[in-house]
Each structure stands twice: as structure tokens, then as C-alpha cells.
């Protein structure tokens, strides 16, 4: 394996990681901002009010997006295994 192949593999790994993590972080941030805005408007300062909606939203996202995420990871893995003979040279 030469340096260019290693860099390309690392670039693909970082890209797929960001693509898979992006929706989870985005949903958590949006729900967190919405709950914070709700707390500011209603003057409710309950700590569980910030945690539980984010947990539920993230769990629902993972349930619905799991097939897509697994498919993306499988494609990356298959690509890595198919390029394995090139890397050994």
C-alpha cells in the first residue's frame, strides 16, 4: 500500500463517518435548541426536559435511519475488501 492509497482510504473513512454522524448531531441540535427556546419562553428550568426529548428524537432517528446507515457501512466495507489486493502489492 502506498501513501496515496492510505490517504484515499482515510479520506473515505472520514467522509463516511461524517455522513453517518451528521443526521444524529443535527437532530440533537435542532431538538436541543427547540427545547431551550421553549424553556426560555415558559421559564421552566427542569433538567430532564432537555435530556428526554433529545434522547427520544435520537432514538427515533436511529430506528428509522439504521437500514440506511448499515447499507452505507456495508458499501464502505465491500469497497475496502475489493481494494485489498491492490493494497497488498
| pLDDT (tens digit per residue) in 69-78 | 999 999 999 9
Q: Which domain does 45 fall in, by range?
A: 3-88
| pLDDT (tens digit per residue) in 27-70 | 999 999 999 999 889 888 887 888 899 999 999 999 999 999 99
**CB contact burial 18-50 (16+ within 10 A = b; e otherwise):** eebeeeeeebbeebeeebeeeeeeeeeeeeeeb
Instruction: Using the predicted structure, report yes or no on whether residue 79 has a pLDDT greater than 80.
Output: yes
Picking from 60, 76, 77, the residue whose alpha carbon sits closest to that of residue 23 is 60
> How many domains, in total, are found in the chain?
1
Cα separation, 89 vs 78, in Å, equals 19
With cut-offs at 50, 70 and 90, classify the pLDDT of residue 85: confident
Cα separation, 75 vs 81, in Å, equals 10
Cα separation, 51 vs 56, in Å, equals 9
Amino acid at each position: 500500500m502506498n501513501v496515496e492509497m492510505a490517504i484515499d482510504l482515510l479520506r473515505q473513512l472520514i467522509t463516511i463517518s461524517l455522513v453517518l454522524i451528521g443526521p444524529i448531531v443535527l437532530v440533537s441540535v435542532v431538538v436541543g435548541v427547540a427545547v431551550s427556546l421553549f424553556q426560555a419562553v415558559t421559564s421552566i428550568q427542569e433538567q430532564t426536559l432537555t435530556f428526554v426529548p433529545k434522547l427520544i428524537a435520537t432514538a427515533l432517528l436511529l430506528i428509522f435511519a439504521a437500514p440506511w446507515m448499515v447499507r452505507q457501512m456495508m458499501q464502505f466495507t465491500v469497497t475496502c475488501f475489493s481494494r485489498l489486493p491492490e493494497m497488498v502489492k
